[in-house]
Copies of this chain bind each other. A is one copy, B any other.
Amino acid sequence: MFDGLREVAQQLRADRAVRQLLSTCKRLRSERGEANSLVIGHDVVKRLQRLDDAQRLLFFLALARDFSPNPAEVLTAAQAYAAQPGARTLDALTRAAEPPRQELFRRINRAQGGTAAIVALRRELLGLLKAHPELQAVEADLLHLLSSWFNAGFLQMEQVSWRSSAELLEKIIQHEAVHAIEGWGDLRRRLQPDRRCFAFFHPQLPGEPLIFVEVALLAEMPAAIGALIDPKTEPLAPDRYRVAAFYSISNCQPGLRGVSLGNFLIKRVAQQLQRELPRVRKFCTLSPIPGFAGWLSRIQQAPASLDGDAAKRFAEQLQLLRSADAAQLKERDALVSAAPKLRDALTGLCAVYLTHESPADHGDPVARFHLDNGARLERINWAADLSAKGLRQSHGLMVNYLYDLEQVEAQHEKFVNGEVAFSRAVGAHL
**Which A residues are within 8 Å of any B CB, using their own CB?**
1-4, 32-36, 38-39, 64, 68-69, 71-72, 74-75, 77-79, 81-82, 84-88, 90-91, 93-94, 97-99, 106, 109-112, 114-115, 133-137, 140, 145, 148-149, 151-154, 156, 162-167, 169-170, 183-184, 188, 191, 203-204, 260, 263-264, 267, 372-374, 408-409, 412-413, 416
User: Known: A90-B68, A151-B110. Contact between A263 and B82, CB under 8 A?
Assistant: no
In the assembled complex, 18 residue pairs joining A and B whose CB atoms fall closer than 8 Å, in A order, are A34-B263, A35-B372, A36-B374, A36-B408, A36-B412, A75-B79, A75-B81, A78-B78, A78-B79, A78-B97, A87-B133, A90-B99, A93-B97, A94-B140, A106-B151, A148-B149, A149-B154, A163-B165
Chain B residues within an 8 Å CB radius of A153 = 109-112, 114-115, 204
User: Known: A77-B78, A151-B106, A203-B156. Contact between A264 and B34, CB under 8 A?
Assistant: yes
Q: How far is the CA of A232 from the CA of B156 in the complex (A)?
A: 36
Q: How many copies does the complex hold?
A: 4
Q: How far is the CA of A163 from the CA of B169 in the complex (A)?
A: 10
Q: How far is the CA of A64 from the CA of B416 in the complex (A)?
A: 29
User: Known: A87-B137, A137-B91, A184-B166. Contact between A71 and B82, CB under 8 A?
Assistant: yes
User: Known: A35-B409, A152-B38, A412-B36. Contact between A78 and B85, CB under 8 A?
Assistant: no
Q: How far is the CA of A162 from the CA of B145 in the complex (A)?
A: 33
User: Known: A114-B153, A203-B156, A264-B38. Contact between A93 and B64, CB under 8 A?
Assistant: no
Q: How far is the CA of A114 from the CA of B86 in the complex (A)?
A: 28
User: Known: A2-B85, A86-B134, A153-B109. Contact between A91 and B140, CB under 8 A?
Assistant: yes
Contact between chains at A33 and B94 (CB < 8 Å): no
Q: How far is the CA of A38 from the CA of B412 in the complex (A)?
A: 13
Chain B residues within an 8 Å CB radius of A71 = 78, 81-82, 85
Q: How far is the CA of A264 from the CA of B32 in the complex (A)?
A: 15
Chain B residue with the shortest CB-CB distance to A39: B409
Contact between chains at A86 and B412 (CB < 8 Å): no
Chain B residues within an 8 Å CB radius of A165 = 162-166
Q: How far is the CA of A359 from the CA of B169 in the complex (A)?
A: 48
User: Known: A166-B166, A373-B35. Contact between A81 and B106, CB under 8 A?
Assistant: no
Q: How far is the CA of A34 from the CA of B265 in the complex (A)?
A: 12
Closest 4 CB pairs of A and B: A78-B78, A97-B97, A35-B412, A87-B137
Contact between chains at A90 and B69 (CB < 8 Å): yes
Min CB distance A328 to B, Å, is 39
Chain B residues within an 8 Å CB radius of A78 = 71, 74-75, 77-79, 97
Chain B residue with the shortest CB-CB distance to A77: B78
Min CB distance A143 to B, Å, is 11
Q: How far is the CA of A179 from the CA of B151 in the complex (A)?
A: 38
Chain B residue with the shortest CB-CB distance to A71: B82
Contact between chains at A154 and B35 (CB < 8 Å): no
Chain B residues within an 8 Å CB radius of A183 = 184
Min CB distance A211 to B, Å, is 14
Q: How far is the CA of A191 from the CA of B34 in the complex (A)?
A: 30
Chain B residues within an 8 Å CB radius of A135 = 87
Contact between chains at B166 and A162 (CB < 8 Å): yes
From A35, A69, A148, name the one whose CB has the most chain B CB atoms within 10 angstroms. Answer: A35
Contact between chains at B91 and A35 (CB < 8 Å): no
